[in-house]
Structure 1
């Protein structure tokens, strides 16, 4: 099956084993065909819950650091993207 790149983006994430187990339990408990679909539903549900709180007023969002660490690289502005690549410095 070809992926419609206009609609979908592929992301690779690392999860703790207990989170993987919870995703698996959610997937089979809700009779969801694929792990990817289960993760999509969980992410959407979490985003909807945050949205209902008002993301801009969420305490963690207000105190997020200006400099983000990403595997030893500094991302000066986490929203700065150029040509699909985030702008980083070492």
Structure 2
């Protein structure tokens, strides 16, 4: 993997870290299963995990798939999840 810093790498790190935080919050505040699901989904956004996936399978996860999945996760987290309800009550 090249050690370069571009907008896609930075956004991958930021969104991956946000997903990790949402996963940890779900694990401790809501339930273990959605928390683990969010933790696993965060791996597709983190550049080292994406490079590992590319090395093992031979192709990367397309950017369009990451964007669509990111929007769906965002709406699900804030719209219909229990964590979104907890945030609304604050």
Give the TM interval when normalised to the shorter protein. under 0.3
Structure with bigger RCO (C-alpha 8 Å, 6+ apart)? 2
Query: Is the helix fraction higher in 1 or 2?
Result: 2
TM-score normalised per structure 1? 0.25
Larger-gyration structure (1/2): 1
